């Protein structure tokens, strides 16, 4: 029964993809969206069934859905491994996915390509489910590439917009770099273990030499960095905001970008063997958390602020992985999925209300006009800022506390500063959007309307999750989630910490969050001219941040432009040298053909004609013999007779 | 007893006469008659040698030749009549259609 349920989970969205993708044009949008969210809803119900079974039995389920590759050393099945880690991911993916699908019905209403949107979204769900459910690296990789593809398709959803098309290819290309690393890791794993199944690999992981473990872990990390938008491959994620907002919420905040974190936690057995790789994971995570947060401080596009916030929060998850706090990382992944989806969808609701406006400089004073969106956005902000008892506080504080209690003081410092910045920029966003005086133009202001129930409903559900989600991990380090995840994600080096220290760290975290809020309040509510003065005072810093540290420009300079130049060079080489060679060969063939034509015409035909003409000439002479006169013939006969007689006589005499 | 050489000489004279008639004369009928003379020259030879060699074979062949000469004359004369109807002439030189 459970096996069947597990097999059914990815089947529903797949059926929806086939149905909507192939015959979606034949029926109305109303049917299409019902198929889309209905299928995800069914998957969610199946997931709950599986979850209850796992909760009851407490052991992982492994199901082979299809025997795929078998031969030689390699046996790969389309098989699912559902343990507690997968369960948490499944609940997040299908649950949040379902809410976002429902929200999309309202948000995408009336768009051209409505059915195409839902087809891509469902395809994404299928890929993401394969990614988290696969019991071996190849199935993980299929899901990995599938979500990358869907990300590309959905970023480029408005394909007639140049910036969207460019952002889509950028996301795709940057992800390829990470995927190359991931593929190398899979090859290394296969060389070392002769299998790709998680259970078999992790059972033999002890035989691995430390160097090889580091190599595999680093290659996996490269893959995770690409997919989860960490330094230095994060640049695609802010650009990915060109896609429709539900896409940003589902793919570029709640699920796909967390695939890297999931992958690291899944492979924690390998990472645990390599302290070097762990340190690198932690440092990359910490740096990304701080780096992206600083950029988020000054951005003016509501979705871009959230995008940098996502990069930053993913950095926290990596940081958690790097210091061995796998459960905390997954905990933060889950709460982040709730409150970031909430924030993105609320932002989408704001954009929807303002007829497509995304610039926060042209917003303000919206709290009374769209009260529900405002309240829910505020919940999201408080949750991400880390103010208890909302979800973000518990998970983020756990990562910070873990860093401190395990003596990663530098990482703790970085993360704490990052948390301060997070709190600041999120409240800045809230103040600029919902408080103060309106900076909208008259036309937009007239059309403001609260979003329909189909959009606000999912927001409310996410709001509740953002408020209560944190209690799944309460009390810190010993919560329900920790016990549930312990078999799959490890305990992360249990050691007793005094309650006093934990409480002190909590107080510090709360203080940081409130400080961020206070500063934002001062800047954007009390002393409105302060931000501008500060920006003027630190002109250089401000411009650098506004231009995102010029990283895109730097990459353009280092990679993109040389690549383009190389491309042009190769094109030139192709045109002149290769094509020249080809043309030369063609020319030679042409010359040869002309030569042999000449030979044919003058030598062969000439010879034949000469023979023919010669025959003709001779024949013209010889035919005179046939005069038609009987006595000529008779004379010749007589002459021949005499000649014969003479010859015979001569022969007889010899 | 007439010697064999006399027969052969007469035969030769007759054959040459016929041959010259065929080669020189232009009248189709005379050409045909010359052919008859040549055939009879051959017959004299055949009979003479038959007697001289005491074999009846030569005389038998002579009989055959006479019979065939009769048929040949009949067909030849018929052809001449047909040609004469078309050309109103018996000149052999005008009958040169069978050439290239």
Mutation target to probe the B interface, by most B beta carbons within 10 A, among A618, A620, A623, A634 is A634
Identify the band that residue A641 occupies on the pLDDT scale cut at 50, 70 and 90: very high
Q: How far is A622 from chain B (nearest CA, A)?
A: 10
Confidence band (pLDDT; 50, 70, 90) for B92? confident
Chain A nearest-CA residue for B31: A631
Average pLDDT for A485-499: 68
C-beta atoms of A631 and B31 within 8 A: yes
Which of A630, A634, A641 to substitute to test the interface with B, most B CBs within 10 Å? Answer: A630
Cβ–Cβ < 8 Å for A433, A377? yes
| Confidence (pLDDT) at B63 | 94
Q: Is B38 on the interface with A (CB under 8 A)?
A: no
Q: Which residues fall within 8 angstroms of residue A146, CB to CB, at 6 or more apart?
A: A123, A124, A126, A127, A128, A130, A131
* pLDDT band per the 50, 70, 90 thresholds, residue A493: low
Residue A27 has pLDDT above 70, yes or no: yes
Are A628 and B97 in contact (CB < 8 Å)?
yes
The average pLDDT across A189-218 equals 88
Task: Check B92 against A630: CB less than 8 A apart.
Answer: yes
Binned at pLDDT 50, 70 and 90, residue A529 comes out as confident
Q: Which two tokens stand for residue A343?
A: 């924030």
Q: Quick count: other Cβ atoms within 10 Å of Cβ A362?
A: 15
Cβ–Cβ gap A630/B31 under 8 Å: yes
Q: A with B: how many residue pairs have Cβ under 8 Å apart?
A: 26
In the predicted model, is pLDDT for residue A492 greater than 60? no
Among B12, B28, B96, the residue to mutate for chain A (most A Cβ within 10 A): B96
Mean pLDDT value across residues A84-88: 89
**pLDDT band, very low/low/confident/very high, at A652 (cuts 50, 70, 90):** very high
State whether B100 and A638 contact (CB < 8 Å). no
Structure confidence at residue A131 (pLDDT): 92
Distance from CA of B95 to the nearest CA of A (A): 7
Mean pLDDT to the nearest integer, A103-131: 90
CB A5 within 8 A of CB A50: yes
Q: Do B99 and A627 touch (CB under 8 A)?
A: yes
- Distances from the Cα of A340 to the Cα of A347, A383, A485, A520, angstroms: 10, 9, 22, 20
User: Which of chain B's residues have a Cβ under 8 Å away from the Cβ of A626?
Assistant: 99-100
Q: Answer yes or no: do A638 and B98 touch at CB < 8 A.
A: no
CB contact under 8 A, B92 and A638: no
Report percent pLDDT > 70 for chain A.
Answer: 99
Summarize the confidence of residues A206-232 as an average pLDDT. 89
Q: How far apart (Å, rounded) are the C-alpha atoms in residues A519 and A427?
A: 9
Q: What is the pLDDT of residue A477?
A: 73
Check CB contact under 8 Å for B97 and A626: no
Percent residues over pLDDT 90 in chain A: 35
Please name which of A240, A196, A191 lies closest in space to residue A79, comparing C-alpha atoms.
A196
B23: contact with A, CB 8 A cutoff = yes
Q: What is the mean pLDDT of residues A471-499?
A: 74
| Cα nearest neighbour of B95 on chain A | A629
Question: Which residues of A lie closer than 8 Å to B, measured between beta carbons?
Answer: 623, 626-631, 634-635, 638
Tell if the CB–CB gap between B96 and A638 is shorter than 8 Å. no
More confident of the two residues A145 and A436: A145
Pair A214, A135: CB distance under 8 Å: no
Q: Which residue has the higher pLDDT, A75 or A492?
A: A75
User: What is the percent of chain B with per-residue pLDDT over 90, rounded to a whole number?
Assistant: 55
Q: What's the gap in Å between the CA of B27 and the closest CA on chain A?
A: 11
The answer to whether residue B30 neighbours chain A at the CB level (below 8 Å) is: no
Report the share of chain B in percent with pLDDT over 70: 99
What's the pLDDT score for residue A2? Answer: 82
> Measured between alpha carbons, how far is A10 from A143 in angstroms, rounded to an integer?
11
Q: Binning pLDDT at 50, 70 and 90, where does residue A18 land? A: very high
pLDDT at A495 over 70: no
The answer to whether ipTM exceeds 0.90 is no
3-state SS record for A112-154: CCHHHHHHHHHHHHHHHHHHHHECEHHHHHHHHHHHHHHHHHH
Return the pLDDT at B90: 83
- In chain B, which residue's Cα lies nearest the Cα of A627? B99
SS3 A17: helix
The predicted pLDDT at position A229 comes to: 87
Interchain pair B100, A630: CB under 8 A: no
Whether the pLDDT of residue A494 is over 60: the answer is no
Contacts of B19 in chain A (CB under 8 A): 638
What does the pLDDT average to over A262-271? 90
pLDDT of residue A363: 83
- DSSP element (H, E) containing B77: helix B57-87
* Closest alpha carbon within chain A to B99: A628
**CA-based R_g, chain A, Å:** 38
Residue A120: band (very low, low, confident or very high) from pLDDT cuts 50, 70, 90: very high
Q: Is residue A66 within a helix (H) or strand (E), and if so which, with residue range?
A: strand A61-71
- In three-state form (DSSP H/G/I as H, E/B as E, the rest C), the secondary structure along A312-329 is HHHHHHHHHHHCCCHHHH
Q: Which of A104-118, A361-375, B64-78 has the highest mean pLDDT?
A: B64-78
Q: Which of B12, B17, B21, B23 to mutate to test the interface with A (most CBs of A within 10 A)?
A: B23
CA dihedral A506, A512, A515, A516 (to 10 degrees): -130
- The answer on pLDDT for A618 being more than 90 is yes
Cα Rg, chain B, nearest whole Å: 17
What is the per-residue pLDDT across A267-304, written as a single tens digit (0 to 9) for each? 988 888 888 999 999 999 999 999 999 998 888 888 99
Structure-token match 């953002």, residue found:
A466
- How far A628 CA sits from the closest chain B CA (Å)? 4
**Which chain A residues touch B22 with a CB distance below 8 Å?**
631, 634
* B95 CB within 8 Å of a chain A CB: yes
**Per-residue model confidence (pLDDT) at position B68:** 93
Lowest mean pLDDT among A188-197, A256-265, A431-440: A431-440
B10 Cβ under 8 Å from any chain A Cβ: no
CB-based contacts of A108: which residues, under 8 Å, 6+ apart?
A114, A117, A118, A244, A246
Chain A: nearest CA to B1, how far in angstroms?
31
pLDDT at A61: 86
A15 vs A142: CA distance, rounded Å: 18
């Amino acid at each position: 029964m459970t096996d069947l349920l597990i097999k059914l989970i990815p089947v529903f969205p797949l059926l929806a993809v086939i149905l909507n993708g192939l015959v979606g044009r034949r029926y109305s949008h109303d049917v299409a969206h019902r198929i889309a969210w209905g299928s995800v809803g069914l998957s969610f119900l199946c997931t709950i069934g599986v979850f209850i079974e796992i909760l009851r039995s407490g052991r992982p389920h492994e199901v082979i859905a299809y025997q795929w590759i078998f031969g030689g050393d390699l046996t790969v099945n389309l098989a699912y491994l559902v343990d507690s880690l997968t369960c948490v991911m499944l609940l997040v993916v299908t649950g949040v996915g379902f809410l976002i699908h429902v929200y999309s019905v309202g948000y995408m209403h009336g768009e051209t390509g409505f059915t195409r949107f839902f087809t891509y979204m469902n395809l994404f769900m299928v890929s993401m489910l394969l990614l988290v459910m696969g019991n071996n690296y190849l199935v993980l990789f299929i899901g990995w590439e599938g979500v990358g593809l869907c990300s590309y398709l959905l970023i480029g959803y408005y394909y007639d917009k140049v910036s969207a098309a460019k952002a889509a290819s950028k996301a795709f290309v940057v992800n390829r770099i990470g995927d190359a690393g991931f593929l190398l890791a899979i090859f290394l794993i296969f060389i070392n273990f002769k299998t790709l199944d998680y259970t078999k690999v992790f059972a033999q992981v002890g035989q691995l030499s430390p160097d090889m473990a580091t190599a595999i872990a680093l290659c996996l990390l490269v893959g995770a960095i690409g997919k989860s938008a960490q330094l230095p491959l994060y640049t695609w994620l802010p650009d990915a905001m060109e896609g429709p907002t539900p896409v940003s919420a589902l793919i570029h905040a709640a699920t796909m970008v967390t695939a890297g974190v999931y992958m690291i936690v899944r492979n924690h057995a390998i990472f645990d063997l390599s302290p070097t790789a762990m340190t690198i994971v932690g440092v990359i995570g910490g740096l990304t958390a701080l780096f992206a947060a600083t950029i988020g401080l000054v951005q003016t596009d509501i979705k871009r602020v959230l995008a940098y916030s996502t990069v930053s929060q993913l950095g926290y998850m990596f940081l958690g992985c790097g210091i061995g706090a796998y459960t905390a990382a997954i905990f933060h992944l889950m709460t982040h999925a709730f409150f970031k989806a909430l924030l993105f969808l609320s932002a989408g609701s704001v954009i929807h209300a303002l007829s497509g406006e995304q610039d926060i400089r042209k917003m303000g004073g919206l709290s009374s006009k769209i009260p529900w969106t405002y309240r829910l956005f505020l919940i999201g902000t408080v949750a991400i800022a880390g103010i208890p008892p909302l979800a973000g506080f518990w998970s983020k504080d756990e990562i910070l506390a873990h860093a401190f209690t395990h003596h990663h003081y530098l990482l703790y410092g970085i993360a704490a500063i990052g948390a301060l910045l997070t709190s600041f920029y999120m409240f800045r966003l809230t103040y600029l959007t919902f408080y103060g005086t309106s900076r909208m133009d008259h036309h937009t202001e007239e059309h403001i309307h609260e979003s329909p129930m189909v959009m606000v409903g999912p927001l409310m559900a996410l709001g509740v999750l953002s408020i209560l989600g944190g209690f799944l991990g309460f009390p810190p380090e010993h919560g329900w989630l920790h016990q549930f995840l312990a078999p799959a994600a490890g305990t992360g080096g249990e050691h007793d910490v005094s309650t006093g220290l934990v409480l002190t760290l909590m107080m510090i975290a709360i203080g940081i969050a409130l400080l961020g809020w206070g500063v934002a309040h001062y800047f954007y509510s009390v002393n409105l001219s302060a931000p501008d003065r500060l920006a003027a005072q630190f002109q250089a810093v401000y411009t650098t941040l506004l231009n995102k540290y010029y990283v895109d420009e730097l990459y353009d300079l280092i990679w993109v432009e040389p690549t383009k130049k190389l491309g042009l060079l190769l094109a030139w080489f192709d045109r002149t040298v290769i094509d020249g060679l080809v043309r030369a060969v063609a020319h030679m063939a042409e010359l040869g053909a002309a030569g042999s034509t000449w030979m044919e015409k003058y030598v062969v035909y000439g010879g034949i004609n000469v023979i023919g003409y010669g025959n003709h000439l001779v024949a013209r002479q010889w035919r005179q013999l046939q005069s038609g006169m009987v006595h000529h013939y008779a004379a010749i006969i007589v002459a021949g007779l005499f000649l014969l007689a003479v010859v015979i006589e001569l022969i007889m005499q010899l | 007893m007439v010697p064999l050489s006399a027969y052969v000489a007469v035969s030769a004279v007759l054959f040459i006469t016929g041959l010259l008639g065929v080669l020189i004369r232009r009248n189709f009928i005379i050409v045909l008659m010359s052919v008859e003379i040549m055939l009879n020259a051959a017959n004299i030879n055949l009979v003479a040698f038959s007697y001289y060699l005491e074999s009846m074979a030569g005389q038998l062949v002579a009989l055959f030749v006479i019979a065939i000469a009769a048929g040949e004359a009949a067909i030849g004369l018929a052809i001449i009549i047909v040609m004469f109807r078309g050309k109103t002439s018996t000149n052999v030189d005008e009958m040169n259609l069978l050439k290239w």
